[in-house]
Amino acid sequence: MTDVSLAEDTNAQAYSVSELAFALKRTIESAYGFVRLRGELSKVTFHGNGHVYLDIKDDKACIAGVVWKTNVRGLAIRPQTGLEVIVTGRITTYPGRSQYQIIIETMSPAGIGALLAQLEKLKTKLAAEGLFEAARKRPLPAMPAVIGVITSPTGAVIRDILHRITDRWPCRVIVWPVVVQGDQAAAQVRAAIEGFGALTAGGPVPRPDLLIVARGGGSVEDLWPFNDEALARTVAASTLPLISAVGHETDTTLIDFVSDRRAPTPTAAAEIATPVLADLAATLADHERRMASNARRRLDHGRVRFAAASARLPRLPDLLAIATQRLDIASGRLSASLGANLAAHRHQLTTAAASLRPHLLQRLMEAKARVLAPPSRRLDPAMRRALTDKAALLNSAAKLLETLNPDQVLKRGFARIERRDGRMARSARDLARGEGVEIVFHDGRRSAVVDAAAPARKDAPPAPVQGDLF
């Protein structure tokens, strides 16, 4: 029997390790192509290439799992150690380690308790960073001209907001349509907040004075996109004041804590954002009446005080009586003084005129003319002789200058040698061999080089030959 068994085993086909491993892989993947699994996450690792590696366990077993980076962004929650989740995917094996694992495609929290636990952790984290502090919340504009509303373009929420704003305050409302439920809701709301913040004043689309993020009521799962960490940080970093109006009064989301103001309902958000025009008009009219009443009271009080003060003042005729009398006395004295002064000056003028005679001045002028006449006649000939002598001296000097002019000598066939610096060469010793000079003639200049070798002329006589003395 033993020999037969060994023979049968010897005839069985032998698999390679790889063949067996991949055969098992195909079998498992075909049997478990879609699996919905519930468990607790552990050993969550975010790899640098974008993949997420983790384990899913319960009290008796554990299975490895991986989320490829193409599916990470589509997850409903962020994987965290200790979080109870429900995942869907397919079972496969990793032949390199003889290990089976689940390729996760979707992930959601396993019940409301898990969602709330994750929310509490995130709230604690953001609170520690100071994003919930009241000091960082900005005041809302009292009378906004433009309001930006981020919500679904369909449904009762946008109609309630527009209706309430129209009844209370005339302003422009710009609606940025987004989905308010599902995986894409948080990303679209973030993009809307950043888009409104990027608008510039005076552009084709006016920049809002404040924003309203609104959504109607719903379950915790429906409102979960507004508990997104990235959305909460975008709300906290918004450059525009923001009112959160998500859900009903009893609903609370993460963006309620980081927004500048929370409204219990979308309709209440419209009331918080806008004043009542009729109330403002009534307040303004009341202020106007009070201002007019105060002005009348102040005027009446001033009139009474003026009357009391004027009763204690002296009468105007009494104040002017003394001054008028002094003016009359001074004017009477002034007339008499002017007459006496005029008479005194007239007497002085008559006395001075009596001593003046025209013929005395005439005789004095004739005497002075006789004294000056002889010298003036002698002065003219002397000046003429002096001018003649000076003219003769000037002509003589001009002739001498012409005689001494070196350029006059050049006209008689002479030439002047000048060095390159403009100095005149007075001796052959002043010039060096090879030095450039200027030969100045009466009709121009020529350049030359001292002792320069020149070619012999054909018509020049032959040079004498020195004979041999021996």
pLDDT 10s digits, 290-330? 998 999 999 999 998 888 887 777 777 777 878 888 888 88
Distance, CA of 249 to CA of 264 (rounded, Å): 4
pLDDT digits (tens, 9 = 90+) for 178-192: 999 887 899 999 999
Q: Is the pLDDT of residue 281 over 60?
A: yes
Q: Please give the CATH number for the structural domain made up of 120-133+143-278.
A: 3.40.50.261
Tokens 């309001």 correspond to what residue?
Answer: 147
pLDDT of residue 244: 95
Using the 8-state DSSP alphabet, how is residue 411 labeled? T
Judged by average pLDDT, the poorest of 114-123, 281-290, 294-303, 412-421 is: 114-123
Distance, CA of 219 to CA of 115 (rounded, Å): 12
Among candidate residues 46, 105, 47, 103, the one with its CA nearest the CA of residue 80 = 46
Distance, CA of 89 to CA of 33 (rounded, Å): 8
Amino acid identity for residue 218 in this structure: G
pLDDT of residue 357: 65
Element (H, E) at 252: none
* Residue with more model confidence, 425 or 175: 175
Q: Is the pLDDT of residue 2 over 70?
A: no
**Fold held by 10-110:** OB fold (Dihydrolipoamide Acetyltransferase, E2P) (2.40.50)
Cβ atoms 64, 27 nearer than 8 A: no
CA angle 121, 125, 127 (to 5 degrees): 115
Cβ atoms 418, 388 nearer than 8 A: no
Cβ atoms 115, 85 nearer than 8 A: no
Tokens 């010039």 correspond to what residue?
Answer: 431
Tokens of 370: 């006789």
Distances (CA, A) of 31 to 34, 62, 90, 388: 9, 19, 9, 148
Counted residue by residue, the chain has a size of: 470
CA angle 347, 349, 352 (to 5 degrees): 110
149 DSSP β-pair partners: 175, 212
Q: Is the pLDDT of residue 240 over 90?
A: yes
pLDDT digits (tens, 9 = 90+) for 343-402: 888 888 877 776 666 676 777 787 877 776 665 555 567 777 888 888 888 888 877 777
CA angle 416, 417, 421 (to 5 degrees): 125
Give pTM, 2 decimals. Answer: 0.47
Cβ atoms 240, 148 nearer than 8 A: yes
Tokens 């009378």 correspond to what residue?
Answer: 143
pLDDT of residue 23: 85
pLDDT of residue 7: 45
pLDDT of residue 311: 78
The fraction of the chain above a pLDDT of 90, given in percent, is 34
Distance, CA of 443 to CA of 25 (rounded, Å): 119
